[in-house]
Amino acid sequence: QVQVVESGGGLVQAGDSLRLSCTASGLTFTSYASAWFRQAPGKEREGVSCIRRSGATSYYADSVKGRFTISRDNAKNTLYLQMSSLEPEDTAMYYCAATASDCSGSRAPYKYWGQGTQVTVSS
């Protein structure tokens, strides 16, 4: 049984940093590209960042470029999202997802999803 579990969310102030983690079990982690999505209240779920299987290539939404860094530790089956210079606009539920296909900003290719971790940034 595949499980994807996010952690690390919380309430922070604007300008602060936060690191999210996502641990996957029940699947061969190295066979999946992994991504972070987020969904703010009343908005569509959007892709934040994605990293390819080897970790050599990553992609970012324009809104987080230069502030967020995605990484993965395949030995630990864990995905990370280091977030810095957080803004109130980053407030959302953050989801980890895995796809056997290549990275995509669309939700469709991602088969496995976590339950999400809440990030709230106060001004």
Looking at residue 112, its pLDDT comes to 97
At residue 28 the predicted structure's pLDDT band, cuts being 50, 70 and 90, is confident
- Neighbour tally for 101: CB within 10 Å: 11
Give yes or no for residue 45 having a pLDDT over 90. yes
**The residue to which tokens 């922070």 are assigned:** 12
- Could you give the angle at the alpha carbon of 17 between the alpha carbons of 12 and 23, nearest 5°? 95
pLDDT tens, 75-99?
A: 999 999 999 999 999 999 999 999 9
Per-residue pLDDT averaged across 106-121, rounded?
97
Per-residue pLDDT averaged across 40-47, rounded?
96
Residue 101 is given by DSSP the state S
